[in-house]
């Protein structure tokens, strides 16, 4: 596991957190911006000192500033915010105390997400609702694609990673970003099919992509959608790091 240290980096007069990670597996300096946390992440090979890494980061201050400036706006889970559900915008709406309510603490209704309870718990309840919907949409898709490929899924977990939408372990464990529930259904289909296909072909060999194309008809369109809009999905609501709601 990589060792992590954090300092503040001056970017155009603004202090930005810089995480330096020493990783023995890294072959070169890698610099990226964590778009969820607005943190600069620098990965150092074992032979490179932190001083050298800091010099490298400062030398790329212009690139960092441009990436930070280009981040989509952050949208908190707050009353009145517009949040997509399977790509369709919904307005987060608090339910007044004493008003009629449906079963559960949160539900959808006519282009809104209705949220009951105290204002202090509003954002958490929205996040819990979206995670629940993500599992409800992802699990049956994974099972369907697994049946089509005659493979077994060992387990399915939802997380909040910053750099990938899904993963598949050699043992058959699947993991997905809960934020996929914000994307259109065809994008969700593609990511689930992609990871299920890895149960048959663990690499990205040509036969892997052939299998993905067999499972979903619009894989190219979905990949392009994620390239254009994926960063925006990380700007919604709760920003905890790699949170887990799985089994």
Give per-residue pLDDT as tens, 40-58.
999 999 889 999 999 999 9
Check whether 246 has a pLDDT greater than 50.
no
* Token pair belonging to 15: 């202090």
* Token pair belonging to 103: 């079963």
Q: What are 203-212's pLDDT values in tens digits?
A: 999 999 999 9
- Assign 3-class secondary structure to the chain: CCEEEEEEEEECCEEEEEEEEECCCCCCCEEEEECCCCEEEEEECCCCCHHHHHHHHHHCHHHHHHHHHCCCCCECCCCCCEEEECCEEEEEEECCCCCCCCCCCEEEECCEEEECCCHHHHHHHHHHHHHHHHHHHHHHHHHHHHHHHCCCCCEEEEECCCCCCEEECCCCEEEEEHHHHHCCHHHHHHHHHHHHHCCCCCCCCHHHHHHHHHHCCCHHHHHHHHHHHHHHHCCECCCCCCCCCCC
Please state the domain extents for the chain: 3-69, 82-125, 130-233
Give the residue-averaged pLDDT of 133-143. Answer: 98
> 113 vs 69, which has greater pLDDT?
113
Place of tokens 């694609």: 145
Q: What are 122-137's pLDDT values in tens digits?
A: 999 999 999 999 999 9
| Total-model pTM | 0.80
Give the residue-averaged pLDDT of 67-79. Answer: 90
| 7: confidence class by pLDDT, cuts 50, 70, 90 | confident
Please tell me the CATH code under which domain 130-233 is placed.
Answer: 3.30.2010.10
């Amino acid at each position: 596991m990589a060792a992590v240290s954090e300092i503040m980096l001056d970017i155009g007069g603004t202090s930005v957190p810089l995480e330096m990670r020493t990783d023995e597996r890294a072959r070169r300096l890698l610099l990226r911006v964590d778009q969820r946390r607005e943190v600069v992440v620098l990965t150092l090979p074992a032979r490179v000192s932190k001083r050298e890494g800091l010099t490298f980061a400062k030398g790329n201050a212009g690139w960092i500033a441009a990436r930070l400036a280009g981040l989509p706006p952050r949208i908190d889970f707050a009353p009145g915010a517009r949040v997509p559900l399977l790509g369709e915008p919904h307005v987060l709406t608090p339910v007044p105390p004493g008003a009629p309510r449906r079963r559960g603490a949160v539900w959808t209704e006519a282009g809104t997400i209705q949220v009951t309870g105290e204002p202090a718990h509003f954002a958490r309840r929205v996040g819990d609702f979206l995670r629940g919907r993500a599992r409800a949409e992802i699990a049956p898709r994974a099972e369907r694609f697994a049946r089509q490929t005659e493979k077994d899924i060992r387990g399915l977990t939802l997380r909040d990673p910053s750099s990938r939408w899904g993963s598949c372990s050699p043992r058959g464990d699947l993991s997905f970003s809960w934020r996929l529930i914000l994307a259109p259904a065809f994008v969700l289909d593609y990511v689930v099919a992609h990871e299920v296909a890895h149960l048959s072909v663990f690499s990205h060999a040509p036969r892997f992509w052939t299998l993905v194309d067999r499972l979903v008809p619009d894989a190219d369109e979905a990949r392009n959608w994620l390239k254009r809009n994926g960063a925006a999905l990380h700007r919604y609501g709760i920003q905890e790091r790699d949170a887990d709601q799985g089994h």
